[in-house]
Amino acid sequence: MKVSALTRSRLIIASTFVVALVLSVVPVPTWAEQFRPDWVGLVLIYWCMATPHRVGMGSAWLVGLLQDVLYGALLGQYALSKTIIAFLAVKLHLRIRVVPPWQQAIAVLVMLAIGQLFVIWVRAVIGKPIQGFSYWTPGIVSMVVWPWVFIILRDIRRRGQVR
Amino acid sequence: MIGADSRPIRTSTLMLRLLLFAALAVALMVTDHQGQHLRQIRSALTVLTYPLITIAAIPARIGGWMSDTFTTEEKLRLRYLSLEERHRIVQARLQQYEALEAENRRLRSLLGSATRVSDRAVVAELVEVSTEPFTRMIVINKGSFDNVFLGQPVLDVYGVVGQVTEVNPHISRVTLITDPGHAIPVQVTRTGLRTVLYGTGDDDTVDLPFLTASAKIEKGDMLTSSGMGGRFPPRYPVARVTEVISDPNEAFLQIKATPMARLQHHKEVLLVWPGKTEPLPVEEQ
């Protein structure tokens, strides 16, 4: 089947998001829950950085909404958080692109933490506050796994000629 | 990033788009929080997420299948023996229960009050997926096709598990009594004291706020559902009090309890269709 370059790019990007969404609900023991990286956020940041004309706040909003449904969260909660992350990633993409992955990881942590802040804020408003500091561990784990996510997604982008 | 696309993007409208999508998300949240208007949209979107949930549950399924298939005969034999023993004990207790139920019905008819119809229950299997971090929810493999309804009580063999908070055609979401947004009316079996039990987000702690120092409650007390509010059927065990701290500086007692239901070790839960029940009589202190 012959597909145009645009369709192929879109399919590849969409399938990475699908994988990220599945990874975000794969069951883990309760104690490990707090160490689960924000897979959706990582993939989102990568595509916003590499192909900002293709993936931006619109895609982020939709993926966030799907995450809301998947999580059974308030509709719009993760949509808001992911929109903010996408905004930051698109805004800063030229600056982050040029540095090596381990330095990018720091920027990734900051972006995810800001996104997280909105989730915490929303949950406090609706009366489901989060107790303790464990809410920050996903961001830190995400930072640690970023270089690998970056390398894998870069390979996917190059092989699939996503542009 | 070598080879990356560096086509310029329109940065001038970035802020505008941010405001647009953020406003859209906030509007959605407000509507969703206000009521049940978005139930249809959520259900429609579940069509998209249902395959994702099915895929995500595969590892746990394989794990379960492996542990079922590759057990030794010795282990199975031991399990069989212990189950048989448990069954015998339960059966013996049940004999008494039936006699008590008959007696209860007779007494109720003497009092002229309606008899309590026993509840109907169906076993639902857990779909092993995670939900939002720091909430306590589970997903079960029964939905509106199996007549699951919103607010339906869910139990396990030890006590109250929670209530159904989202119904889709094939799966439903159950909010556990330990979820920070959950509350259930309970009664202390020893004294008849009625109060409300709140989840904390912690798996083995639930809270009983708003009880003053004069409340008749102490460590070890059993809490059962009171049936007030009409959502949970009465007299099912909910939690046991583990700690009562009386701080003179605080207006209320600090009371902690542990849920009776084994919320961590579920493979199956019971969906309950409550029978018609009478509210509990007010017990004189």
| Mean pLDDT, chain B, integer | 84
- The CA distance from A4 to the nearest CA of chain B, in Å, is 18
- % of chain B beyond a pLDDT of 90: 24
Q: How far is A43 from chain B (nearest CA, A)?
A: 16
Output the six-digit token pair for A156. Answer: 């996917």
CB contact under 8 A, A76 and B28: yes
Nearest to B182 by CA among B198, B163, B171, B164: B198
pLDDT value at residue B6: 54
- Predicted complex: ipTM over 0.90: no
Q: Report pTM.
A: 0.82
Q: What mean pLDDT do residues B162-168 have?
A: 90
- B71 against B204, higher pLDDT: B204
Mean pLDDT of B208-215: 86
Which residue, among A85, A128, A134, A158, would best test binding to B if mutated, counting the most B CBs under 10 Å from its CB? A128
Q: A128 to chain B nearest CA, in Å?
A: 5
Band of residue B117 on the pLDDT scale cut at 50, 70, 90:
low
From A134's Cα to the closest Cα of chain B, the distance in A is 9
Amino acid at A26: V
Return the residue matching tokens 């869910």: B154
Beta-carbon separation of B46 and A69 below 8 A: yes
Q: In A, which residues are within 8 Å of B26 by CB distance?
A: 76, 80
Q: State the virtual CA torsion across A43, A46, A50, A55 in degrees, nearest 10.
A: 50
Chain A CA closest to residue B60: A27
* pLDDT classification of B108: cutoffs 50, 70, 90: confident
Chains A, B: CB contacts within 8 A come to 150
* pLDDT score at B209: 87
CA closest to B137 among chain A residues? A72
Q: How far is CA B221 from the centre of its chain?
A: 21
Q: Which two tokens stand for residue A153?
A: 């997604």
The region, left, alpha or beta by phi > 0 then psi within -120 to 50, assigned to residue B103 is alpha
Q: Do B7 and A53 touch (CB under 8 A)?
A: yes
Chain A: residue nearest B180 by CA? A128
Token pair listed for A163: 């542009």
Query: Out of B18, B129, B180, whose CB is closest to A57?
Result: B18
Q: Do B56 and A131 touch (CB under 8 A)?
A: no
pLDDT, tens digit only, all 163 positions of chain A: 567 888 888 999 999 999 999 999 988 887 888 889 999 999 999 999 999 888 989 999 999 999 999 998 889 999 999 999 999 999 999 899 899 999 999 999 999 999 999 998 998 888 777 766 777 888 899 999 999 999 999 999 998 888 7
Q: For the CA atoms of chain A, what is the radius of gyration?
A: 15
Tell me if A97 and B4 make a contact (CB, 8 A cut-off). yes
Contact at 8 Å (CB) between A96 and A104?
A: yes
User: Is the pLDDT assigned to residue B7 strictly greater than 70?
Assistant: no
pLDDT of residue B276: 58
Three-state DSSP state, B139: strand
What are the angstrom distances between the C-alpha of B99 and each of B95, B96, B120, B121, B274? 7, 5, 20, 21, 21
**Could B134 and A122 be called an inter-chain contact, meaning their C-beta atoms sit closer than 8 Å?**
no
Q: Is the pLDDT of residue B48 over 70?
A: yes
Cα dihedral B48→B50→B55→B60 (10° resolution): 150
Q: Which residues contact A36 (CB under 8 A, 6 or more apart)?
A: A24, A28, A138, A141, B130, B133
Please compute the mean of the pLDDT values over residues B19-45 and round it to a whole number.
Answer: 87
**Is residue B123 classed as helix, strand or coil in its secondary structure?**
strand
Type of residue at B101: E
Look at the alpha carbons of B131, B136, B138, B144 in this order and tell me if their dihedral is positive or negative.
Answer: negative
Which residue among B14, B28, B129 sits closest to A79, beta carbon to beta carbon? B28
Rounded Cα gap, residues A156 and A12, in angstroms? 8
> Residue B3 has what pLDDT?
45
How far, in Å, CA of A113 to CA of A131, rounded? 16
Q: Which amino acid is at A145?
A: V
Say if B53 is an interface residue toward chain A (CB within 8 Å): yes
Length of chain B (residues): 285
- B10 pLDDT band (50/70/90 cuts)? low
Quick one: pLDDT at residue A37? Answer: 92
- B4 interfacial to chain A (CB closer than 8 Å): yes
Contact B129 A91 (CB under 8 A): no
Task: Tell me which residue has tokens 């969409």.
Answer: A14
How close A60 comes to chain B (CA, Å)? Answer: 9
Q: Rounded distance, CA B3 to CA B40, Å? A: 44
pLDDT attached to residue A60: 95
Alpha helices in chain B (DSSP H): 14-34, 39-56, 58-69, 73-111
